[in-house]
């Protein structure tokens, strides 16, 4: 692997593929430098179903893959033969969607004769911040909040040591945003719509419950399904009374409840363990209120906060390339091309 590091005197050039859900992402990084991040999304094809339809997503990945790779190479100003190593999301995610990315990455790796690293999607959401803000301090606490996951992770080494400290016991944070948006008829995906609408509402208008914050509750786990039900009951009561629904106030108050619990528990994890750096990643990290509240609370607790730009928080190929680059730089072995992508992959299994 050492020759990958030294060839041309510059860091290795990595091509990364992401297809775990509905975005076909292809990213190119050189070491810690982001060169391209091209995305083709099938989100519009799922909107009328109110959620991602796995077979539709797989088909869309198949159609988008080659053109997205070509756009990324053009954006980076490199050719396929300049690539030193490849990386691909090996899991977790939708089985069929992952399969398309894994098959494509294997085919490109074989065609150019370069090593392929199958990586964990969740670890990649954390690693992407390296191309935004430089090397991750060790240890860093990570709050990973997406459509499928909500976890507090202690990252002692992004290539080899991630320890889950807490996770949702029911809905993921993004899933709660999507379900509440559906209830409020705001379309899919719901997070961005609630984020926008909440700016016009009063976040203190309705006191929605903060899940798992009682004295006997698991201190670092999350629960959002009770909150979702509370919003549904509140809206139903208004409807029964024949009163108008103050949609912006509901959106703002719901968002406040989610963000309050996410930041409170994550900062608690940092202070209890003496971790001075916090990184937030995953689609929900694009949320403007989460970013603002996390910054306020980190400032108060003396914690340095890192959150990548919104386009690097939602699923993308750059995050996969960024993690691949770290594995290559550590001289770790690539994956056997016989690997199978897997829909279930615990976060501490950083590579396959």
Under rule CB under 6 A, residue 256 binds ligand KG4:
no
- SS3 (DSSP) at 26: strand
Question: Please, which residue, 37 or 314, has the CB nearer to ligand KG4?
Answer: 314
CB 101 to ligand KG4: min, Å? 13
**Integer Cα distance of 331 and 40 in angstroms:** 31
Under rule CB under 6 A, residue 147 binds ligand KG4:
yes
Secondary structure element (H or E) that encloses residue 165, with its range:
strand 161-167
Question: Please, which residue, 87 or 146, has the CB nearer to Zn ion?
Answer: 146
**Integer Cα distance of 142 and 121 in angstroms:** 14
Q: Which of residues 7-46 bind ligand KG4 (CB under 6 A)?
A: 21
**Integer Cα distance of 221 and 299 in angstroms:** 23
195 binds, among Zn ion, ligand KG4, none (CB under 5 to 8 A by kind): ligand KG4
**Integer Cα distance of 135 and 294 in angstroms:** 21
- The three state secondary structure string of 195-239 is HHHHCCCCCCCCCCCCCCCCCCCCCCCECCHHHHHHHHHHHHHHH
Binds ligand KG4 (CB under 6 A): choice among 148, 201, 324, 334 = 148
Under rule CB under 5 A, residue 315 binds Zn ion:
yes
140 binds, among Zn ion, ligand KG4, none (CB under 5 to 8 A by kind): none
Beta carbons of 320 and 27 less than 8 angstroms apart: yes
Residue partners of 155: CB distance under 8 A and separation at least 6 = 126, 136, 138, 139, 140, 141, 142, 161, 162, 279
Binds ligand KG4 (CB under 6 A): choice among 37, 58, 140, 314 = 314
Fill in the per-residue mask, 132 to 151: x = in contact with Zn ion (CB under 5 A), - = not in contact. --------------x-----
Under rule CB under 5 A, residue 266 binds Zn ion:
no
CB 190 to ligand KG4: min, Å? 5
Beta carbons of 117 and 335 less than 8 angstroms apart: yes
CB 192 to ligand KG4: min, Å? 5
Strand 13-18 to 23-30 pairing: antiparallel
Under rule CB under 6 A, residue 92 binds ligand KG4:
no
Question: Please, which residue, 159 or 287, has the CB nearer to ligand KG4?
Answer: 287
203 binds, among ligand KG4, Zn ion, none (CB under 5 to 8 A by kind): none
Question: Please, which residue, 132 or 156, has the CB nearer to ligand KG4?
Answer: 132
Binds ligand KG4 (CB under 6 A): choice among 90, 96, 189, 317 = 189
**Integer Cα distance of 313 and 338 in angstroms:** 30
Piece of the chain touching ligand KG4 by CB under 6 A; list 1-9, 223-231, 236-244, 276-284: 276-284
308: phi then psi, degrees, rounded to nearest 5: -70, 165
**Contacts to ligand KG4 by CB under 6 A:** 21, 146-148, 174, 177-178, 189-192, 195, 282-284, 286-287, 314-315
**Contacts to Zn ion by CB under 5 A:** 146, 315
């Amino acid at each position: 692997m050492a020759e990958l590091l030294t060839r041309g005197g510059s860091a290795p050039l990595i091509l990364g593929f992401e297809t775990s859900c509905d975005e076909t992402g292809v990213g190119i990084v050189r070491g810690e430098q982001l060169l391209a991040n091209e995305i083709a999304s099938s989100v519009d094809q799922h909107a009328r179903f109110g959620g991602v339809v796995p077979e539709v997503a797989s088909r869309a990945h198949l159609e988008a893959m080659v053109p997205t790779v070509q756009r990324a190479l053009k954006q980076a100003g490199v050719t396929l033969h300049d690539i030193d190593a490849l990386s691909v999301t090996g899991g977790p995610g939708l089985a069929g969607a992952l399969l398309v990315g894994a098959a494509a990455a294997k085919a490109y790796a074989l065609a150019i004769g370069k090593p392929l690293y199958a990586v964990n999607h969740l670890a990649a959401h954390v690693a992407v911040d390296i191309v935004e803000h430089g090397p991750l301090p060790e240890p860093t606490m990570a709050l990973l909040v997406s459509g499928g996951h909500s976890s507090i992770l202690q990252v002692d080494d992004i290539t080899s040591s991630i320890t889950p400290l807490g996770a949702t016991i029911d809905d993921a944070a993004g899933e709660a945003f999507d379900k509440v948006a559906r209830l409020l008829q705001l379309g899919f995906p719901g997070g961005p719509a609630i984020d926008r609408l909440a700016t016009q509402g009063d976040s203190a208008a309705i006191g929605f419950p903060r899940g798992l914050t009682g004295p006997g509750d698991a201190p670092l786990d999350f629960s959002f399904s009770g909150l979702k039900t509370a919003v549904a009951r509140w809206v139903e009561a208004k409807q029964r009374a024949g009163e108008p629904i103050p949609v912006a106030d509901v959106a703002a108050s719901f968002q406040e409840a989610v963000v309050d619990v996410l930041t409170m528990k994550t900062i608690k994890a940092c202070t209890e363990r003496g971790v001075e750096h916090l990184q937030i990643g995953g689609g929900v990290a694009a949320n403007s209120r989460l970013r603002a509240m996390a910054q306020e609370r980190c400032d108060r607790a003396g914690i340095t906060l890192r959150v990548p730009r919104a386009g690097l928080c939602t699923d993308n190929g750059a995050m996969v390339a960024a993690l691949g680059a770290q594995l290559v730089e550590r001289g770790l072995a690539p994956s056997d091309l016989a690997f199978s992508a897997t829909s279930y992959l615990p976060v501490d299994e950083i590579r396959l």
